[in-house]
Amino acid sequence: MLRNGLEPWHLLVVLAVVILLFGSKKLPDMARGLGKSMRILKAETAAMREDGPAPEEAPAPTPAASASPAPTPAAPIPAAPVPAAPVPMAKADGPTRPTRSA
């Protein structure tokens, strides 16, 4: 019954369904977007490899380096005001259901 996973006619049926679902005009745009995404992914992974080990993997400081004075911390950045969350209003139409208390 299932001797091979995918046969050539399976791929043709899948291709026909994709063309019917998305249309022939959107397929080139989708392929172009997929290509751009792949290029970005490759560039990011190459940049990560060039950066070297992550800070967690850095070697421990030597005792001579720990004797030096610690750097002074930078001035804190003031936080932007956070807007208040909207308060949900109860529905005016119909009765409300009582809630269970524990």
Instruction: Kindly report, residue by residue over 65-82, the tens digit of the pLDDT.
Output: 555 556 666 666 666 666
For every residue of the chain, DSSP letters joined together read: --SSS--HHHHHHHHHHHHHHH-TTHHHHHHHHHHHHHHHHHHHHHHHHHH-S-GGGSPPPPHHHHTSPPPPPPPPPPPPPPPPPPPPPPPSSSPPPPPP--
Q: Quick check: 90 and 96 in contact, CB under 8 A?
A: yes
In a domain, 40, yes or no: yes
In a domain, 46, yes or no: yes
Residue (of 24, 45, 42) closest to 34 by Cα position: 42
In a domain, 74, yes or no: no
Take residue 94 and report the two structure tokens written for it.
């119909």
Instruction: Kindly report, residue by residue over 80-90, the tens digit of the pLDDT.
Output: 666 666 666 65
In a domain, 83, yes or no: no
Mark the ranges of the chain whose per-residue pLDDT is less than 70.
Answer: 1-4, 52-102
- pLDDT reported for residue 85: 67
- pLDDT reported for residue 19: 87
Number of domains in the chain: 1
- pLDDT reported for residue 7: 80
